[in-house]
Amino acid sequence: MADFHNLSKARAQREGLPPVRFLDGKEETALFAALRTQSELYFSLSVFLLDTGARIGEATALKWASVGEQSVTFEQRKTTIRRTIPLTKRAARAMAGQRENADGPYVSVRLQDYRAAWKSAKQDAGIFEANLVPNVLRHTCAVRLVKGGVDLRTVQKWLGHRSLTMTMRYAQYADTDLEACVRVLER
């Protein structure tokens, strides 16, 4: 785990890219378990943020009118880009558990309380890095998409970046299977 993150940081510095901190599977499991013991709402929000790549402000501003059966539409204040993305089953279940919040699934979240719970959950999970903030969930989503073979333009649309330049910070995590190029060219 630590070696992988150090390798990623070294590679990013060599390529002139800022290092991106993201969660590995063990960190996610430990952190989410600790969050769940504190608050089902904060656990649900964290799952939603990770699986959608949403910004915290987008999630806490989300109204039920923007939630479909299998998709969610974000009205972004930051970039004025409107985007609709499909929901994972896990994100849909997380939101469905918040139906008692009449306006939207996470509108009742107070950011300072969520950040305090996050900090406490990190300690409970044995993670003591100051740079492991909730926005890491957005980075984790992006890195997982890229590592999974999703092209950068699609990741750009998923995250709602206005320019591909913002999304390029995740390019270092893409599979560099050059043999795939040969297979495509020889068709």
Give residue 2's pLDDT: 43
Give residue 133's pLDDT: 96
CA distance 51 to 65: 20
H/E element, 120? helix 111-124
H/E element, 143? helix 136-147
Token pair for 68: 């479909």
Question: What angle do the packed helices 152-159 and 136-147 form, to 10 degrees?
Answer: 150
Total residues found in the chain within this entry:
187
Q: What residue spans define the domains of the chain?
A: 2-185
CATH superfamily of 2-185: Intergrase catalytic core (1.10.443.10)
Mean pLDDT by 10 residues, the chain (187 residues): 46 60 96 96 98 95 94 78 92 93 94 97 94 96 94 94 92 82 82
Token pair for 186: 């020889």
| Burial class of residue 31 (count of CB atoms within 10 Å of its CB; 0-12, 13-18, 19+) | buried
Give residue 179's pLDDT: 78
Q: What is the pTM of this model?
A: 0.85
